Amino acid sequence: MTRIGVITFPGTLDDVDALRAVRLAGAEPVSLWHKDADLHGVDAVVVPGGFSYGDYLRCGAIARFAPVMDEVIEATGKGMPVLGICNGFQILAEAHLLPGALIRNDHQKFICREQGLRVESTTTAWTNLFEAGDEITIPMKNGEGNFIASPEELDRLEGEGLVVFRYTGSNPNGSARDIAGVRNERGNVVGLMPHPEHAVEPGFGPDSAAGPRTGVDGLKIFQSAISALVGA
């Protein structure tokens, strides 16, 4: 069975939810600790949301130097699928595993709501079960989810197809070009601000933009990783 690890840092909030999402997707969830010096043989890693190390300095800046992140950085270079969710996205950006940076929301307020997304890239380990242009609904909750990059970098991301998710409807946090998630060049590392682990079970997630799979739009993100690993 595919084994997917979920890292817990001091201040992480959504690790248990991510572990549950992994299990519901059909993989074996494995808890990883921020001080771990190895990844315990997992096939993929989720860096979940929360407030790692209290978000001191800036979001993800301290977690980036946790011992487990040395292992994650090495593993991504070998092609391991890694997903960063919200604070996890911030950590991966701080570790330079993903382009751009996340800063304070342009309205200077924490936001928590159901958010529409459009899938822009399906050639990643975490989106291969989607069709380009699919619209999904995922919960989001962040205070520093404003994605920024230089105009030149934004043009590169667009030109090379590295934008994975884009906000639909109103932009919730001021992110440049409505970008909600990006990938690395290889496609094994993806980060997004909304929380797919909160949309994995009917009756407990938001209504789906697609309709029939109400509340489970996030599940396909985790299933995509399993599909990528099984087919590798």
User: How confident is the model at residue 208, as a pLDDT?
Assistant: 52
Q: Give the active site residue among 86, 94, 120, 198.
A: 86
pLDDT tens across 35-66, in order?
A: 999 999 999 999 999 999 998 888 999 999 99
Q: Is 40 left (phi over 0), alpha (psi -120 to 50) or beta?
A: left
**Which residues are CB-contacts of 71 (< 8 A; sequence separation ≥ 6)?**
36, 37, 38, 39
Gap between the Cα atoms of 77 and 108, Å rounded:
36
Gap between the Cα atoms of 180 and 136, Å rounded:
12
Surface-to-core class of residue 152, CB atoms within 10 Å of its CB (0-12 exposed, 13-18 middle, 19+ buried): exposed
User: How confident is the model at residue 62, as a pLDDT?
Assistant: 96
Neighbours of 49 (CB within 10 A): 28
User: How confident is the model at residue 231, as a pLDDT?
Assistant: 80
Of 2-16, 55-69, 208-222, the poorest mean pLDDT is in 208-222
Give, as one character, the DSSP assignment of residue 93. H
Adjacent-strand bridge partners of 55: none
Of 33-42, 88-97, 146-155, 200-209, the poorest mean pLDDT is in 200-209
Q: Are 138 and 95 in contact (CB under 8 A)?
A: no
Q: Annotated catalytic, 59?
A: no
Q: Is it the case that residue 76 has pLDDT exceeding 90?
A: yes
Q: Compute the average pLDDT of residues 68-75.
A: 98
Q: Annotated catalytic, 197?
A: yes
User: How confident is the model at residue 1, as a pLDDT?
Assistant: 92
Q: Give the active site residue among 34, 144, 197, 198.
A: 197
User: How confident is the model at residue 37, as a pLDDT?
Assistant: 92
User: How confident is the model at residue 232, as a pLDDT?
Assistant: 65
pLDDT tens across 123-139, in order?
A: 999 999 999 999 999 99
* Residue pointed to by tokens 């570790």: 95
Q: Is it the case that residue 189 has pLDDT exceeding 90?
A: yes
Gap between the Cα atoms of 118 and 131, Å rounded:
10
3-class DSSP state for residue 94?
helix
Give the global pTM: 0.95
Percent of residues, the chain, with pLDDT higher than 90: 91
User: How confident is the model at residue 10, as a pLDDT?
Assistant: 97
Q: Compute the average pLDDT of residues 8-34.
A: 97
Q: Give the active site residue among 71, 120, 195, 198.
A: 195
**Fold of the CATH domain 3-231:** Rossmann fold (3.40.50)
- Output the average pLDDT for the chain: 94
The string of DSSP letters for 163-187 reads: EEEEE-SS-SS--GGGEEEEE-SSS
Q: Annotated catalytic, 96?
A: no
Phi, psi for 102 (deg, rounded to 5)? -115, 125
3-class DSSP state for residue 230?
helix
